[in-house]
Structure 1
Amino acid sequence: MSEYTVAVIGTGPDPANPTVQGFAMGYRHAEAYRNDDRCRLVACADVVPENGRAFAEEFDVAADHVYEDYQRLVAEVSPDIVSVCVPPAIHEDIVVGCATSGAVGAIHCEKPMAHTWASAQRMVQTCWRRGVQLTFNRQRRFGKPFTEAKRLLDEGAVGPLRRVEVGWGDFYDTGAHTVDLAGMFNDEHPAEWVIAQLDYREEDLRFGAHQENQMWAQWRYENGVHGVLSTGEGSSLVDAALALHGADGTIRIDVRDGPMLDVRRDGTRETVDVDGETMHGTPADEGRFGSQLQDRSVGSVVHALDTGEESPLSGRIGLNTAEILFGGYESVRRRARVDLPLDVDDNPFEAMVADGDLTPEPADD
């Protein structure tokens, strides 16, 4: 069994007080590495020195392996795996910097993937050219409500998939999970077009990025399956967090005022056991920094590094989701359907705010 050295870039602040400005995901990554016998956490970096020192104390990182500059860390430590847990706007700089250093074998980055479509593509292309494994922490793929739903779908419980509906969260931040899961349920087929509209009347900044208040989006995959997302005031359009409509029935995940997973077909409804797991974690999560889903995510990263197999968290698969997200925002900007592949490089939503096309009321401090 191989042992991999690990470093965390972006430890974050006190994990006991997570906010949308800093969620301390570095602690959640580190906890998962600590729980994996194949990994040894050896270094960390954070631009706030006291954050790095507190993290090092929790995870027994040597004082001389606590850095403010991630480039020094990579050059001096040469970790096998690096977790990048910084805001999306700086993912590209750090991921590309690690990939081109020649010192890192795998990069496991937080979601959302990137702040712009160009950044998302550059990260994946650079890592592919350099032979560096790149994954993104879409850990909900390993939650039992989702894996059981996928099993039922693959077994034909509701017939061929026709449409995935999303009625939870938002488009960019939570959508990095929900649209990703829609892709998983549809066997990772890319989308061929997307059309969308949004409302942004009250400023909402999450991890440095603007986040709309309400979103409606529809997209069609190349195999003819449709995706629909309705959030904010429109979330009640879908009677569950996600609904998978097949030719012969529907699988629902986190049903409103209902079970975590059920199947409706032939006029009947069957609740499916998921061992007490939810969309967010497991019954064994108490006393942890994060969910056991993080352990499963890291396990996938290490398995891929061990075997050379592609992880379901790979950057290549992640581009399918990122293209829908940025394509949806571009549809809002164009006021039209956007046919893919996407032919813009920026973040259309951020550009509309910067240009004054969207003018939300400033948030209270």
Structure 2
Amino acid sequence: MNDLHAAVVAVGAQGSVHLHGYRRLAGVRVVGVTDSEPDRATAVASGIGATTYAGVAALLESETVDVLSVCTPPAHHERIVLDALDAGVPAVHCEKPMALTFGGARRMSAAADSRGALLTVNHQRRLDPAYRSAREAVRAGEIGDVQSFEGYCANLFDWGSHVVDLILFFAGDEGPAQVFGSIDVTERRHVYGALVETAAVSHLYWADGRHATIFTGHVEALSREPRNIVVVHGTDGRLEVRGSEVVVRRFDGGGRRIACTVDAEHRVDLHGVDPAVIQGTALALQDLVQCLRSGAEPVLAARHGLAAAEVVFATYQSSALRAPVTLPLTSTDNALLRGLELGYWTPIGESHGTS
């Protein structure tokens, strides 16, 4: 079988993580890279025997790409993914969050479906062996019947997409029927260039009675904790996921810890990225390539990323409407941005960062 050709758009910190993953895949060769900083792209390309391109269009015109990684800030995801699918790329792996609007996320997913292409969103925690074991523990009834979930993170749009995705993961990928949320925008906070809320509370309700509450914001209590926390409450106990720690606690005094381990090959220094993220991304790319060859659905299929995006944008929509939102979400824009234009919030100051 001929080698599959891979390419990476944006080779900064997360792009270097994708390159690490590709280099460990037999039968996959990185043939091209592009980046907003040409010198960085040239340096990376020369080290792996790839070609540097001035932009995505030039890359897609010059190379036959089988797998494309999109590692840009989220503002560029929709355009690049749609261009790649239009060019006939059969598999695209996109960083989260999917897009700046729910309509953008829907267009990305629909374009992949209509072309018979594979689109995955890098919620790589679904591939963490410990998290998968934790989900099996929930399925096996170790904490009884699941009743509710809690989630904690810095913001809903970026970091929170992982928390929402994990709650849906532990809920058996059955989406909620309704979302009731409230957000605060006291400053214009940008994370990887995208405007996010200052703080939020989002309540999710399932038709079978399960519910979830997600809290976001830079409060002191959260700043002492891992960036993403998910708690699953059952009739006989609870499951706690706190960064690299997974604990099953039973009300009868029993329980266990599920070890989070990272293989030595992924314990490398890539711009300070968490080795667990490096390993998870490598596993995601491995799974995508295997599915491209077999025709199976990837673990990180776009439908999961779209489901997480729907909850995020439904929370923003609920806050703008001051009312619950029934899913499926019909609004296709970003109600946070719309609300700012309409004067629903009057932020003071501005910040830019990665959380």
User: TM-score, normalization: structure 2?
Assistant: 0.89
- Give 1:284 shift: 5.8
- Residues 1:250 and 2:238 are matched in the alignment: yes
- Give 1:282 shift: 6.3
- Give 1:215 shift: 1.2
- Residues 1:319 and 2:319 are matched in the alignment: no
- Residues 1:308 and 2:270 are matched in the alignment: no
In the superposition, relative to structure 1, how do residues 57 and 330 fare at CA in structure 2: closer, same or farther (>3 Å)?
same
In the superposition, relative to structure 1, how do residues 336 and 43 fare at CA in structure 2: closer, same or farther (>3 Å)?
same
- Give 1:87 shift: 1.5
- Residues 1:273 and 2:258 are matched in the alignment: yes
- Give 1:347 shift: 0.7
- Give 1:222 shift: 4.3
SS at match of 1:157: coil
Aligned pairs (5 A) from 1:63-212: 65-102=51-88, 104-212=89-197
Aligned residue number for residue 215 of structure 1: 200
| 1:138-191 superposed Cα distances (whole Å, 9 cap, x missing partner) | 111122341221121111101222212102332110111110011111111122
In the superposition, relative to structure 1, how do residues 202 and 267 fare at CA in structure 2: closer, same or farther (>3 Å)?
farther
Q: Over the residues paired in the alignment, what is the CA RMSD in angstroms?
A: 2.2
Aligned residue number for residue 6 of structure 2: 6
Of 43, 52, 55 in structure 2, the residue corresponding to residue 54 of structure 1 is: 43
Cα separation, 2, equivalents of 1:283 and 1:349: 42
SS at match of 2:179: strand
User: TM-score, normalization: structure 1?
Assistant: 0.87
**Percent identity for Structure 1 against Structure 2:** 30
Of 262, 267, 274 in structure 2, the residue corresponding to residue 286 of structure 1 is: 267
Please tell me the residue identity of whatever aligns with 1:342: L
For the 8 Å contact 1:106–1:305, the answer to whether it is kept is yes
Cα separation, 2, equivalents of 1:364 and 1:128: 37
For the 8 Å contact 2:85–2:117, the answer to whether it is kept is yes
For the 8 Å contact 1:202–1:363, the answer to whether it is kept is yes
| 1:314-360 superposed Cα distances (whole Å, 9 cap, x missing partner) | 11222111110100000110011011111211111122233332222
Aligned residue number for residue 227 of structure 1: 212
SS at match of 1:5: strand
- Give 1:57 shift: 2.7
Please tell me the residue identity of whatever aligns with 1:299: Q
- Give 1:202 shift: 3.0
Give the unaligned 5+ runs of structure 2: none
Please tell me the residue identity of whatever aligns with 1:242: V
For the 8 Å contact 1:8–1:83, the answer to whether it is kept is yes
- Residues 1:25 and 2:14 are matched in the alignment: yes
Cα separation, 2, equivalents of 1:129 and 1:329: 29
Cα separation, 2, equivalents of 1:358 and 1:335: 13
Cα separation, 2, equivalents of 1:303 and 1:234: 43
For the 8 Å contact 2:284–2:299, the answer to whether it is kept is no
